[in-house]
Amino acid sequence: MIGAVCHAPAVFKNVFIKPDQNIVGGREVTGFSNTEEDAVQLTNIVPFLLEDMLKQNNARYSRGGDDWAPHIVVDGKLITGQNPASSEALPRLCCRPCSKTDVPIGLAPASPILFPAVEHPVTTVTDHHPPQNADDNPNSDNPDAVTRKVISDASR
């Protein structure tokens, strides 16, 4: 599992899993947005705009409804957070072991995969990178049914 918050997804700029295929290519991701960069007046200072770089590497970039609101995107084993406000919840998703006391977050009906309980609204996105083998995929009978949640809540 890989987690990256705020500007940290910049480390993926030159990470290729195949020739001409960046690690974020085709994946749902987020990171510090162009409008947030502009708000702190660093647009012309940083070496590149993270949102633009992710899109240039064929990532499916998304941002929360409001700048500075927590926004987390889970795509397979890649978890990204948009800004510093996302740094509280993202490590919990990466590091907390799944347990029967956690709340399932919409993978597939009767799915045994569980994630930490989330007390704020979430939005479902499709995970286009389900695990490749039955050992990693509890929905091995229907691997296309895998979905994840995007956390986005300005009140937290």
Please state, as a whole number, how many other Cβ atoms lie within 10 Å of the Cβ of residue 136: 12
Report, at the CATH architecture level, how domain 2-11+21-152 is classified. Answer: 3-Layer(aba) Sandwich (3.40)
Condensed to tens digits (0 to 9), the pLDDT of residues 27-75 reads: 999 999 999 999 999 999 999 999 999 999 999 999 988 999 999 999 9
The answer on pLDDT for 77 being more than 50 is: yes
Nearest to 4 by CA among 115, 84, 97: 84
Average pLDDT in the 16-26 region?
94
Encode pLDDT of 96-131 as tens digits. 555 444 444 433 333 333 344 444 444 433 344 444
Q: Give the pLDDT of residue 114.
A: 38
All structural domains of the chain with their residue ranges: 2-11+21-152
How high is the mean pLDDT of the chain? 73
Reported as type and span, the H/E element at residue 4 is: strand 2-5
